Amino acid sequence: MKGMITLVLALVLTVNVSAKDDLTNGEGRFVSRDGDSLTFVKKQLLYAAVKDIITKELSKMGHSSEVFWAKYNEKFDSYFSPIKENLDKSYGITSSETKLSGRKKEQYEDSLRSKKLTLKARYGKLQKILASYSVKKMSRSPQFPNSRYMNIQAKVNRKLLNDMFYGYTRGGEKRIYKNLFVTVEFSMREMSWQDLGVELENDFTSVLKEHWKRWFEDKFQGKVNNVIVTTSYEEEKLDSHLKMLSEASSSLNQISSIENDLAKEQQNALISVDDQLKDSLWMKVKVNVQKVAEDETFKKRTFLFGGEYLLFDLKSNRLASHYDFISEEATFSTAKDLSSNSASLVYRLPVAKWESLIRDISHFPLGRKSFRIDVIGANSVKQIDEVDKYLSSMGLTHSLKVKVESFNRDRAQLRIFFKGTIDDLKGTLLRTKNLEVDGQKKIFFQNEESPFTINLVDKEISTPEKKENGQG
């Protein structure tokens, strides 16, 4: 009997652990405005938390969450467009040249925000993929009460989510690319090429490049016309192309009549580059190899393999996919087949992830306007992540999306994808002013006329504000 009880307890514990593993946490953040009802705020928080869960679950399932959200946003924009047109007419807006002023402009913007956020929180009935959920925490910042937070725990119906993914990403215009450029870079630590059983670097790398090229030609057939392993000259051209488009989108505080100039610069940039780059992809693969140990007695050598890839869409100037390889340690005999065995391991590091790209590359979105924003004073990735979430929340009505391009010491560069005018973007940025970050810092702008540098300053030493900004 005692043995039976022990067995039953073990089974119950196993079921509980398994059930807990099936749950996914989702975080939602929303910056409300004075006058927002509690019901409205709760719906926005729940919508944001469900989106967070969907993003996490799609990644686990091997799907591209970026493609999914791009398609979701495109379809919502199409749905919302006639609603916005009716609102515009009711306010006498007949073209992009129509300017509202004073109280009327404020009323229009409030009405547009309310309609868009309310409808987007309902659109697609995203919540239906949750078999069940519970709210674990809902809070607001004591210092900045309009900054709201919700944490939920949910059990996800993955079949429904899978159907939803394909429902949004299938159909519509499919892209076919002229070229897929493949650049491979190797980084060696505490070793030489001889340690891998070859005399020259090219003896090892040329075989890998050729096999990856064949893989892409086979798997991306009908999606990519040519697969090109790059030379150093081609890499310079590709770098220049990305830099040119980036600079055309980034020099926000150096140019006057910015929107017209920006559009002209981007068009000129596209016209001036080689035609083969206009609708192509660039796969940059970096492989890291480190010698960990050597056993001369048993003729064995141990290596640690890792790396990453970045896939750039050269038409929209965006990072379309990124993946850090799962590091793998392996020991090989130095007596035979060392180079072949190690090359085989390196070959398969990215291939499993590339399999998921076969489904997704035809649906990569063409992108919105993109701008570079600098964040100065961040101490951690968590702080950058909170700035990201604030901006995404503030910019919902303009389909704002953030990509972290780099983070070094206390400075980060963000790529902002945005639908709207420069004034809209400025207003979105300034609405984050004074918001608390990580309980330690707050957002501050040195130059509010050109708020494209975000400063994170310690709360106790930040400049006192004359009045609240951007909280509605």
Q: Please state, for a pLDDT cut of 90, what percent of the chain lies above it.
A: 36
pLDDT in tens, 23-57: 999 999 998 988 899 999 999 999 999 999 999 99
- Distance CA(420)–CA(442), nearest Å, equals 26
Instruction: Give the pLDDT confidence score for residue 283 in this predicted structure.
Output: 95
Q: How far is CA 325 from CA 9, 47, 181, 193, 239, in A?
A: 39, 31, 20, 21, 23
**Of the segments 199-208, 368-377, 392-401, 405-414, which one has the largest average pLDDT value?**
199-208
What is the reported pTM?
0.51
pLDDT grade for 471, boundaries at 50, 70 and 90: very low
Determine phi and psi for 364, rounding to 5 degrees: -60, 130
Instruction: Give the pLDDT confidence score for residue 461 in this predicted structure.
Output: 55
Count of positions (residues) in the chain? 472
- Distance CA(334)–CA(289), nearest Å, equals 16
pLDDT in tens, 232-278: 999 988 888 777 655 444 444 443 344 444 444 444 433 334 566 77
- Distance CA(411)–CA(468), nearest Å, equals 26
Mean pLDDT, range 216-226, rounded to an integer: 93
Instruction: Give the pLDDT confidence score for residue 258 in this predicted structure.
Output: 42
pLDDT in tens, 282-316: 999 999 999 999 998 999 999 999 999 988 888 77
- Distance CA(206)–CA(229), nearest Å, equals 10
Please count the other Cβ atoms lying within 10 Å of the Cβ belonging to residue 158: 16
Mean pLDDT, range 209-237, rounded to an integer: 93
Q: Please state, for a pLDDT cut of 70, what percent of the chain lies above it.
A: 82
Q: How far is CA 132 from CA 128, 152, 179, in A?
A: 9, 10, 45
- Distance CA(168)–CA(161), nearest Å, equals 11
**AA letter at 205:** T
Instruction: Give the pLDDT confidence score for residue 248 in this predicted structure.
Output: 44
* Closest among 35, 5, 26, 19 to 471, alpha carbons compared: 35
Instruction: Give the pLDDT confidence score for residue 132 in this predicted structure.
Output: 93
Average pLDDT for the chain: 81
Instruction: Give the pLDDT confidence score for residue 8 in this predicted structure.
Output: 46
Query: Would you state the structure tokens that stand for residue 425, as one six-digit string?
Result: 């973007």
Query: Quick check: 214 pLDDT over 60?
Result: yes
Instruction: Give the pLDDT confidence score for residue 420 in this predicted structure.
Output: 66
Cα-to-chain-centroid distance, residue 9: 43
Instruction: Give the pLDDT confidence score for residue 17 in this predicted structure.
Output: 42
Query: Quick check: 401 pLDDT over 90?
Result: no
What three-state secondary structure class fits 228?
strand
- Distance CA(449)–CA(374), nearest Å, equals 15
Query: Quick check: 14 pLDDT over 60?
Result: no
β-strand 369-376 against 453-458: which pairing, if any? parallel
Query: Would you state the structure tokens that stand for residue 34, as one six-digit string?
Result: 């004075």
Cα-to-chain-centroid distance, residue 122: 23
Buried b (16+ CB within 10 A) or exposed e, 264-292: ebbeebbeebeebbebbbbbbbbbbbbbe
Using the 8-state DSSP alphabet, how is residue 336 labeled?
S
pLDDT in tens, 52-101: 999 999 888 878 887 888 889 888 988 998 898 899 889 888 777 778 88
Instruction: Give the pLDDT confidence score for residue 215 in this predicted structure.
Output: 96
Q: Is 211 exposed, middle or buried (CB count within 10 Å of its CB: 0-12, 13-18, 19+)?
A: middle
Query: Would you state the structure tokens that stand for residue 282, as one six-digit string?
Result: 């660039």
- Distance CA(449)–CA(131), nearest Å, equals 48
Q: Which residue has better confidence, 216 or 97?
A: 216
* Closest among 447, 389, 450 to 414, alpha carbons compared: 389
Q: Which domains, ranges and CATH numbers included, belong to the chain?
A: 23-169 (3.10.129), 177-363 (3.30.160), 369-461 (3.30.70)
